[in-house]
Amino acid sequence: MAIINQASKELHLKIVYYGPGKGGKTTNLEQVHANLGSVQEKGKLISLATSSDRTLFFDFLPIEAMAIKGFKTKFQLYTVPGQVIYNTTRQLVLRGVDGLIFVADSQYEKMAENVESFQNLEDNLRALKLNLADIPYVMQYNKRDLASAAPVDYMEFLLNNRDVRVPSFTSVASKCEGVFESLNMITRMLLNKNINEGSRTAV
Protein backbone atom coordinates (compact mmCIF):
# COMPACT_ATOMS: atom_id res chain seq x y z
CA MET A 1 0.00 0.00 0.00
CA ALA A 2 1.16 3.55 -0.68
CA ILE A 3 3.19 5.35 1.97
CA ILE A 4 2.35 8.90 2.98
CA ASN A 5 4.89 10.97 4.84
CA GLN A 6 3.05 13.93 6.29
CA ALA A 7 6.14 15.45 7.87
CA SER A 8 7.83 15.92 4.51
CA LYS A 9 4.52 16.08 2.58
CA GLU A 10 5.32 13.10 0.39
CA LEU A 11 3.31 10.26 -1.08
CA HIS A 12 5.24 7.19 -2.28
CA LEU A 13 3.74 4.92 -4.95
CA LYS A 14 5.33 1.83 -6.47
CA ILE A 15 4.32 0.81 -9.98
CA VAL A 16 5.63 -2.46 -11.43
CA TYR A 17 5.75 -3.35 -15.12
CA TYR A 18 5.10 -7.08 -15.44
CA GLY A 19 4.94 -9.40 -18.45
CA PRO A 20 6.77 -12.00 -20.51
CA GLY A 21 10.43 -11.70 -21.49
CA LYS A 22 11.30 -9.33 -24.34
CA GLY A 23 7.75 -7.92 -24.23
CA GLY A 24 8.84 -4.27 -23.89
CA LYS A 25 8.84 -3.54 -20.14
CA THR A 26 12.31 -2.03 -20.10
CA THR A 27 11.52 -0.11 -23.31
CA ASN A 28 8.52 1.46 -21.54
CA LEU A 29 10.78 2.77 -18.78
CA GLU A 30 13.40 3.98 -21.25
CA GLN A 31 10.74 5.89 -23.17
CA VAL A 32 9.28 7.45 -20.03
CA HIS A 33 12.78 8.47 -19.01
CA ALA A 34 13.62 9.91 -22.44
CA ASN A 35 10.35 11.70 -23.12
CA LEU A 36 9.15 12.99 -19.77
CA GLY A 37 8.30 16.70 -19.83
CA SER A 38 10.35 19.08 -17.76
CA VAL A 39 7.68 19.63 -15.08
CA GLN A 40 8.47 16.32 -13.45
CA GLU A 41 11.71 15.62 -11.68
CA LYS A 42 13.02 12.33 -12.92
CA GLY A 43 15.89 10.45 -11.37
CA LYS A 44 18.38 8.18 -13.03
CA LEU A 45 17.18 5.08 -14.85
CA ILE A 46 18.92 2.17 -13.16
CA SER A 47 19.08 -1.13 -15.04
CA LEU A 48 20.43 -4.27 -13.44
CA ALA A 49 20.88 -6.22 -16.65
CA THR A 50 22.98 -9.06 -18.03
CA SER A 51 25.78 -8.45 -20.53
CA SER A 52 23.26 -9.12 -23.30
CA ASP A 53 20.94 -6.38 -21.99
CA ARG A 54 18.33 -8.73 -20.54
CA THR A 55 16.92 -7.58 -17.20
CA LEU A 56 18.61 -9.55 -14.42
CA PHE A 57 17.01 -8.06 -11.31
CA PHE A 58 15.01 -4.94 -12.15
CA ASP A 59 15.00 -1.58 -13.90
CA PHE A 60 14.17 1.34 -11.64
CA LEU A 61 13.10 4.88 -12.44
CA PRO A 62 12.12 7.32 -9.68
CA ILE A 63 9.96 10.30 -10.70
CA GLU A 64 8.55 13.14 -8.62
CA ALA A 65 5.29 14.71 -9.73
CA MET A 66 2.69 16.99 -8.27
CA ALA A 67 -0.63 15.15 -8.18
CA ILE A 68 -1.98 16.45 -4.90
CA LYS A 69 -1.61 20.12 -4.02
CA GLY A 70 1.09 20.61 -1.43
CA PHE A 71 2.17 16.96 -1.62
CA LYS A 72 5.16 15.68 -3.54
CA THR A 73 4.17 12.39 -5.15
CA LYS A 74 7.17 10.12 -5.51
CA PHE A 75 6.64 7.39 -8.07
CA GLN A 76 8.94 4.42 -8.21
CA LEU A 77 8.68 2.59 -11.53
CA TYR A 78 10.10 -0.93 -11.58
CA THR A 79 10.25 -3.68 -14.18
CA VAL A 80 10.64 -7.37 -13.38
CA PRO A 81 12.87 -9.74 -15.33
CA GLY A 82 10.58 -11.58 -17.76
CA GLN A 83 12.57 -14.75 -18.19
CA VAL A 84 11.04 -17.79 -16.50
CA ILE A 85 14.15 -18.67 -14.46
CA TYR A 86 14.01 -15.37 -12.55
CA ASN A 87 10.75 -16.07 -10.76
CA THR A 88 12.14 -15.55 -7.26
CA THR A 89 13.44 -12.16 -8.35
CA ARG A 90 10.00 -11.20 -9.69
CA GLN A 91 8.50 -11.96 -6.28
CA LEU A 92 11.05 -9.70 -4.60
CA VAL A 93 10.30 -6.79 -6.91
CA LEU A 94 6.55 -7.18 -6.29
CA ARG A 95 7.00 -6.53 -2.59
CA GLY A 96 5.18 -3.31 -1.65
CA VAL A 97 3.60 -2.93 -5.12
CA ASP A 98 0.79 -0.38 -5.42
CA GLY A 99 -0.12 -0.71 -9.10
CA LEU A 100 0.76 -2.82 -12.13
CA ILE A 101 1.10 -2.39 -15.87
CA PHE A 102 0.99 -5.77 -17.59
CA VAL A 103 2.94 -5.47 -20.84
CA ALA A 104 1.81 -8.22 -23.22
CA ASP A 105 3.57 -9.04 -26.49
CA SER A 106 1.03 -8.81 -29.33
CA GLN A 107 2.68 -11.38 -31.57
CA TYR A 108 0.56 -14.51 -32.10
CA GLU A 109 3.45 -16.79 -31.19
CA LYS A 110 3.80 -15.05 -27.82
CA MET A 111 0.22 -15.63 -26.61
CA ALA A 112 1.08 -18.71 -24.54
CA GLU A 113 3.90 -16.77 -22.85
CA ASN A 114 1.53 -13.86 -22.15
CA VAL A 115 -1.02 -16.16 -20.51
CA GLU A 116 1.68 -17.98 -18.54
CA SER A 117 3.17 -14.69 -17.34
CA PHE A 118 -0.23 -13.42 -16.21
CA GLN A 119 -0.86 -16.62 -14.26
CA ASN A 120 2.63 -16.28 -12.80
CA LEU A 121 1.77 -12.75 -11.67
CA GLU A 122 -1.30 -14.02 -9.81
CA ASP A 123 0.73 -16.85 -8.23
CA ASN A 124 3.48 -14.49 -7.12
CA LEU A 125 0.99 -12.05 -5.61
CA ARG A 126 -0.64 -14.93 -3.74
CA ALA A 127 2.78 -15.93 -2.39
CA LEU A 128 3.01 -12.40 -0.98
CA LYS A 129 -0.52 -12.74 0.45
CA LEU A 130 -1.84 -10.22 -2.07
CA ASN A 131 -4.78 -10.52 -4.42
CA LEU A 132 -4.78 -9.16 -7.95
CA ALA A 133 -8.40 -8.05 -7.50
CA ASP A 134 -7.23 -5.59 -4.82
CA ILE A 135 -4.43 -4.05 -6.85
CA PRO A 136 -5.10 -1.52 -9.62
CA TYR A 137 -3.64 -2.65 -12.94
CA VAL A 138 -3.90 -1.92 -16.66
CA MET A 139 -3.12 -4.03 -19.71
CA GLN A 140 -0.78 -2.80 -22.41
CA TYR A 141 -0.77 -4.70 -25.71
CA ASN A 142 2.65 -3.87 -27.10
CA LYS A 143 4.32 -4.28 -30.51
CA ARG A 144 1.15 -3.39 -32.43
CA ASP A 145 3.31 -2.37 -35.40
CA LEU A 146 4.38 -5.95 -36.12
CA ALA A 147 2.72 -7.88 -38.94
CA SER A 148 2.12 -10.88 -36.70
CA ALA A 149 0.19 -8.87 -34.09
CA ALA A 150 -2.98 -10.66 -32.93
CA PRO A 151 -6.30 -8.73 -32.92
CA VAL A 152 -6.90 -6.72 -29.78
CA ASP A 153 -10.25 -8.46 -29.19
CA TYR A 154 -8.47 -11.81 -29.11
CA MET A 155 -5.94 -10.52 -26.58
CA GLU A 156 -8.74 -9.06 -24.48
CA PHE A 157 -10.46 -12.46 -24.52
CA LEU A 158 -7.27 -14.23 -23.46
CA LEU A 159 -5.93 -11.77 -20.89
CA ASN A 160 -8.64 -9.38 -19.80
CA ASN A 161 -11.83 -11.39 -19.35
CA ARG A 162 -12.35 -11.34 -15.60
CA ASP A 163 -15.47 -10.04 -13.85
CA VAL A 164 -14.08 -6.54 -13.99
CA ARG A 165 -12.35 -5.67 -17.24
CA VAL A 166 -9.43 -3.36 -16.60
CA PRO A 167 -8.43 -0.51 -18.95
CA SER A 168 -6.27 -1.70 -21.83
CA PHE A 169 -3.99 0.17 -24.23
CA THR A 170 -2.35 -0.67 -27.52
CA SER A 171 1.25 0.40 -27.79
CA VAL A 172 4.40 0.55 -29.79
CA ALA A 173 6.72 1.18 -26.87
CA SER A 174 9.78 1.57 -29.10
CA LYS A 175 8.08 4.65 -30.60
CA CYS A 176 6.64 5.80 -27.27
CA GLU A 177 3.08 5.15 -28.45
CA GLY A 178 0.73 4.09 -25.66
CA VAL A 179 3.46 4.38 -23.02
CA PHE A 180 2.33 7.60 -21.29
CA GLU A 181 -1.33 6.67 -21.76
CA SER A 182 -0.85 3.45 -19.75
CA LEU A 183 1.22 5.19 -17.07
CA ASN A 184 -1.25 8.03 -16.65
CA MET A 185 -4.17 5.62 -16.37
CA ILE A 186 -2.58 3.48 -13.67
CA THR A 187 -1.56 6.65 -11.82
CA ARG A 188 -5.11 7.90 -11.93
CA MET A 189 -6.48 4.56 -10.70
CA LEU A 190 -3.90 4.46 -7.92
CA LEU A 191 -4.52 7.96 -6.66
CA ASN A 192 -8.27 7.46 -6.77
CA LYS A 193 -7.92 4.19 -4.85
CA ASN A 194 -5.77 5.83 -2.20
CA ILE A 195 -8.12 8.75 -1.94
CA ASN A 196 -10.98 6.36 -1.28
CA GLU A 197 -9.21 3.98 1.05
CA GLY A 198 -6.50 5.92 2.87
CA SER A 199 -2.95 4.65 3.07
CA ARG A 200 -0.13 3.63 5.30
CA THR A 201 0.95 6.79 7.01
CA ALA A 202 4.26 8.06 8.20
CA VAL A 203 4.06 11.53 9.71
Partner 1 sequence: MAGLPQLIEEDMRELDAAVDELLRFSEAGAALLIDKGGPLLSQRGAVDKFDATTVAALAAGAFSATDMMARHLGETSLSHIYQQGRQAGLLISNVDDNLLLVVVFPAETGAGAVKYYATAAVARIAAQMQKAAQRAPGAGLDLVSLNTLDLSAVFRKRE
106-135 positions binding partner 1, by CB under 8 A? 128-129
Q: Which of 148, 24, 14, 119 is nearest to 73 (CA)?
A: 14
Based on the shown chain and the rule CB under 8 A, indicate whether residue 48 belongs to the binding site for partner 1. Answer: yes
Residue 167 interacts with partner 1 (CB under 8 A): yes or no:
no
Stretch that binds partner 1, among 92-100, 107-115, 140-148, 159-167 (CB under 8 A): 92-100
Contacts with partner 1: how many residues (CB under 8 A)? 62
Interaction of residue 169 with partner 1, rule CB under 8 A? no
Q: By CB under 8 A, is residue 202 in contact with partner 1? A: yes
Transcribe 11-32 into DSSP letters: EEEEEEEE-STTSSHHHHHHHH
CB atoms within 10 A of CB 177: 16
State yes or no: residue 192 binds partner 1 (CB under 8 A).
Answer: yes
CA separation for the pair 75, 55 (Å, rounded): 20
Residues with Cβ < 8 Å from 16, sequence gap 6 or more? 77, 78, 79, 80, 93, 94, 97, 99, 100, 101
Q: Which amino acid is at 5?
A: N
Identify which of residues 98 and 113 has a Cβ nearer to partner 1 in the complex: 98
Q: Is 137 helix (H, G, I), strand (E, B) or coil?
A: strand
Binding-site ranges for partner 1 (CB under 8 A): 1, 3-7, 12, 14, 32, 35-40, 43-44, 46, 48, 57-58, 60, 62-63, 65-71, 73-74, 76, 78, 88-89, 92-93, 95-97, 128-129, 176, 180, 183-184, 187-188, 191-192, 194-203
